Amino acid sequence: EQPPPPTPTKEKIQIFGKGHLQRLAGQYGIENTFSMPLVNDIAKNGDSGNPYILEHPDTPQSETYRELARSVIKEVSKAKHTQNANRPTVSYDQDSHIIRYDAESIKPAVLRRGCKCAVCVEEMSGKQILDPGDVDEMIRPVMWGPTGNYALSIEWSDGHSSLYPYKKIKTLIEEQKVKDLKEANGEGEGYDMVPL
């Protein structure tokens, strides 16, 4: 005799852990995120070729599908009409060993240490795996180019490949400015602050 199937519950089970969606969105610069509850009918409808949203138009899942469709239309329209307008100019100045990002700049080692790929950062916790000390100060980009309108792909001289959302590069530049300012004022790493 077979045991009865489990009783469906309204318990929210977060397969990847609480806050994972927000971590990934921040890590990769994803602006549009959607959560879809696991519902047996979605799989059944997909297998039968009859879209779930047509058979169950008034469910929260169908509303999520509609939000997703609106978001795709908006992003495609934005990409079509802005083309390269939001894309910064990025270059590598070999003489001064800096990456120029529009009117700003960042050291290649700082950018490389900021990589958030699955090799450099533990995906579930967001904990950094890459030891910053393992990144050579003389690392340099070998190839780079845009990925869509949102990110920069870089091939590094250490053989690593990184993908940086433009927002992440801007954040790293701002963080480096703050760190440089603190170090210039004697507040950075390596200084012991002693009250006088």
How far is 134 from 98, CA to CA, in rounded Å? 19
- Residue 73, H or E segment: helix 60-82
Can you tell me the mean pLDDT for 35-45?
Answer: 81
Can you tell me the mean pLDDT for 150-170?
Answer: 92
Mapped to the 3 state alphabet, what secondary structure does 124-177 carry? Answer: CCCCECCCHHHCCCCCCEEEEEEECCCEEEEEECCCCEEEEEHHHHHHHHHHHH
pLDDT of res. 20: 73
Mean pLDDT of all residues in the chain?
Answer: 83
Tell me the pTM: 0.65
pLDDT of res. 194: 39
